[in-house]
Amino acid sequence: MLVSIYYSPSLPPFVPLSSPPPSSTLEACRLLQLLPGSAKLTLSLLQAAVVGGGATIQNHTYSEAVSALNDMGVHTLDPVLAQQVLRLRILPS
């Protein structure tokens, strides 16, 4: 099997990132890579902490949600944003 690689002078060459992506991006990726069961449990914990789409925050469960996120290595995302990221996943029923 012959593979041809074409070079086009009009396209810019590959340039690596000069700096790493922001930590919030890495933390969102960390949430999206959770196993389905862990993602469901985390999402239910975040939903209990944040009621009404962030309009009401229950203090005790909110602090539990923050500590659970910190245990997963998510330090800069608040529970409301973490909940939005987890809702982007397609979780099996």
Q: What is the pLDDT of residue 50?
A: 82
Q: Is residue 1 part of a domain?
A: no
Q: Which residues of 62-78 are buried (b: 16+ CB within 10 A; e: fewer)?
A: bebbbebbeeeebeebb
- Whether 27 is covered by a domain: the verdict is yes
Is there a domain that residue 29 lies in?
A: yes
Asked, for residue 15, whether it belongs to a domain, the answer is no
- Phi first, then psi, for residue 57 (nearest 5°) are -120, 125
Q: Which domain covers residue 41, as residue numbers?
A: 23-87
Number of domains in the chain: 1
pTM, to two decimals = 0.70
In a domain, 54, yes or no: yes
* pLDDT at residue 63 in the model: 86
- Hey, what amino acid is at 93? S
Three-state secondary structure call for residue 47? helix
In which region does residue 90 sit, left (phi positive, over 0), alpha (psi from -120 to 50) or beta (all else)? Answer: beta
pLDDT tens, per residue, the chain with 93 residues: 554 555 555 656 665 666 777 888 899 999 999 999 999 999 999 988 887 656 667 777 888 899 999 999 999 998 989 999 999 887 776
Residue at 47 is within a domain:
yes
| Position 81 in a domain | yes
Domain assignment present for residue 72? The answer is yes
